[in-house]
A and B are shown apart, each in its own frame.
Chain A
């Protein structure tokens, strides 16, 4: 009978070599496939930067669109429209989304909590064009016209599942004793949620907003049926004329959101279909602007979240 040491020495050399080879092959394979997964990402970014970069200059950001053949045209209407629609979507989606998440995290087993979790899962799987159709039938048709308001509402519905689920998950990560410590001092559930749970989970919650936002900013399908697009959409001009005719802030705001509104994805879609090379080049530039916008939102949020985390660590 051989001892373990004798057997091991007998098999050791061959085994060790084959183990090392397997390990090396697998490592190389993993590295190669990781690189492969990065190819489309950098390809897209590189292609958009190269193609779009040619038509980008300051005028492209600050000028309104011009008729075909007139040079110096920009996409100010689309940038302004995208900001208006996105801000509306955020304003519509965050309050109900966050409150619903607090409810679901606190009462996961109550009927309403179960229903909420189920319906957010379903909603997350609904194609965005269906959400556009929904906004079309409940907002555009009754109002009688396309509007930024309807566009914002459609994107809000699109953002809701992400906001609810990430907020809920982040709240669940907060240690239960933190909640108990607050309740143990005599705080109400509401006060505890607001001044202990929310700050403790805020970084994750904000990252969730960002994810939802980044996704919504690039949505085109729902906007086709709601915001429609409007090359003459000009917030500055609306405000100026409103002030000149002594309209209230609310009336001016109403005019901004109550008419068809342009947006970057819509402009991209529209320009890319036109048979004129000039327009197609512009559509690449719009794609670049859209990417830069999302990137800026990303970076700004990261900086803010990191600064907050540092402050909390002291």
Chain B
């Protein structure tokens, strides 16, 4: 796919899009350590929201709260609420499997399963009882198309996921996440382990995906946040080392006229 084609489909940034995910007064503790304190954040539907901030400020912890991945960390406790389409994901009786289907995740390093390309993508659908070959074929093809990988792998679906390049592996992981048709996609520095060209492809892909999905991305890369996101949340640790969102606004505001001096210093590269 050419660059030009990719830029044509750039999605529209919309500051008035409805709120898809709403974080209210969220605290996350690991044992006696308070990692996140009083987080408020309104993630808008089909927009790309970037979370930026220096290392250790709790960006990943916040991201992992959206699909309750922190539940897996022994000793972690969560207070406050995160609503997905108005429903609190921490409410008693909520099925965490359902939350994780609706909120997909892409990791920092490409991490395909030790399986074929096809089986990597079909893994999720199979978990939900889809086993008919014809159904799976369709899902696999659609997901790989959406991840802009289909043309490169359509003739070698039976090969191991490890046979692909790093950038292709990351797109395979995106296809794997798309296969269960999530509503929100979390990306934890999805391009930090990739070369610049692969990074660009992932960023273009994010623009495409924002037509249909709400995307939340953690990134260390200021330019990336500025290039891809519609909204940016700036995080810092307070004097008790707890992570907080110190400023949240449309990305162009954060990068051109931030209200907080610390945000300005950070996005202009004076510290962090």
Nearest chain-B residue to A311 (Cβ)? B160
Nearest chain B CB to A142's CB is how many angstroms away? Answer: 43
Q: Interface residues of B toward A: which range?
A: 20 to 34
Known: A185-B176, A185-B177, A199-B114. A180 touches B107 (CB 8 A): yes
> Is the C-beta of A186 less than 8 angstroms from some C-beta in chain B?
yes
Does the CB pair B108–A177 fall under 8 Å?
yes
Tell me the complex Cα distance, A32–B180, Å: 61
> Is the C-beta of A20 less than 8 angstroms from some C-beta in chain B?
no
Q: Interface residues of A toward B: which range?
A: 20 to 34
Binds A, one of B121-129, B213-221, B256-264: B121-129
Does the CB pair A177–B109 fall under 8 Å?
yes
> Is the C-beta of A248 less than 8 angstroms from some C-beta in chain B?
no
> Is the C-beta of A184 less than 8 angstroms from some C-beta in chain B?
yes
Nearest chain-A residue to B75 (Cβ)? A109
Looking at B104, B123, B162, B173, the one whose CB has the most chain A CB atoms below 10 A away is: B123
Task: Tell which of B74, B101, B111 touches A186, judged by Cβ atoms closer than 8 Å.
Answer: B101
Tell me the complex Cα distance, A109–B73, Å: 12
Nearest chain-B residue to A181 (Cβ)? B111
- Docked complex: A190-226 residues within 8 A CB-CB of B: 191, 195-196, 199-200
Give the chain A neighbours of B69 by CB distance below 8 A: 180, 183-184
Does the CB pair B176–A175 fall under 8 Å?
no
Interface of B is mostly: mixed
Give the chain A neighbours of B180 by CB distance below 8 A: 185-186
- Convert B105-119 into 0s and 1s, putting 1 for each residue whose CB lies closer than 8 angstroms to a CB of A: 101110101110000
Nearest chain A CB to B66's CB is how many angstroms away? Answer: 11
Does the CB pair B162–A175 fall under 8 Å?
no
Does the CB pair B160–A183 fall under 8 Å?
no
> Is the C-beta of B197 less than 8 angstroms from some C-beta in chain A?
no
Give the chain A neighbours of B124 by CB distance below 8 A: 185-186
Give the chain A neighbours of B104 by CB distance below 8 A: 184-185
- Docked complex: A237-291 residues within 8 A CB-CB of B: none
Tell me the complex Cα distance, A248–B162, Å: 48
Does the CB pair A186–B128 fall under 8 Å?
yes
Give the chain A neighbours of B10 by CB distance below 8 A: none
Does the CB pair A109–B74 fall under 8 Å?
yes
> Is the C-beta of A141 less than 8 angstroms from some C-beta in chain B?
no
Does the CB pair B176–A183 fall under 8 Å?
no
Give the chain B neighbours of A186 by CB distance below 8 A: 97-98, 100-101, 124, 127-128, 180
Tell me the complex Cα distance, A92–B164, Å: 40
Nearest chain-B residue to A188 (Cβ)? B97
Does the CB pair A185–B111 fall under 8 Å?
no
Does the CB pair A314–B162 fall under 8 Å?
yes
Tell me the complex Cα distance, A186–B115, Å: 18
Give the chain A neighbours of B25 by CB distance below 8 A: none
> Is the C-beta of A296 less than 8 angstroms from some C-beta in chain B?
no
Residues of chain B at the chain A interface (Cβ within 8 Å) = 67, 69, 72, 74, 97-98, 100-101, 104-105, 107-109, 111, 113-115, 123-124, 127-128, 156, 159-160, 162-164, 173, 176-177, 180
